[in-house]
Copies of this chain bind each other. A is one copy, B any other.
Amino acid sequence: MLNYSTSEENYIKAIFHLQRHDETVTTNELANELKTKPASVTDMMKKLKVKKLLHYQPYQGFRLSSEGSKVALNIIRRHRLWEFFLAEKLKFSWDEVHEVAEDLEHVSNKKLIDKLDEFLGFPRVDPHGDPIPDANGKIEISKKICLTELPFNTSCIVSSVSDQSSEILELLEHKKITIGVKLEVKKKFDFDNSMEVRIGRQPAFTISKQLAENIFVTSSPILLPNGEGKRNK
Residues of A in contact with B (beta carbons under 8 Å apart)? 86, 89-92, 96, 100, 103-104, 107, 109, 111-112, 115-116, 118-119
* Cα distance A14–B109 in the bound complex, in angstroms: 23
A109 touches B103 (CB 8 A): yes
Shortest CB–CB separation between residue A98 and chain B, in angstroms?
Answer: 12
For the residues of A in contact with B, the DSSP-based class is helix
* Cα distance A89–B85 in the bound complex, in angstroms: 12
A115 touches B92 (CB 8 A): yes
Q: Which residues of B contact A109 (CB under 8 A)?
A: 100, 103
B89 touches A112 (CB 8 A): no
Q: Which residues of B contact A107 (CB under 8 A)?
A: 100, 103-104, 107
Q: Which residues of B contact A119 (CB under 8 A)?
A: 89-91
Q: Which residues of B contact A118 (CB under 8 A)?
A: 90
Q: Which residues of B contact A91 (CB under 8 A)?
A: 115, 119
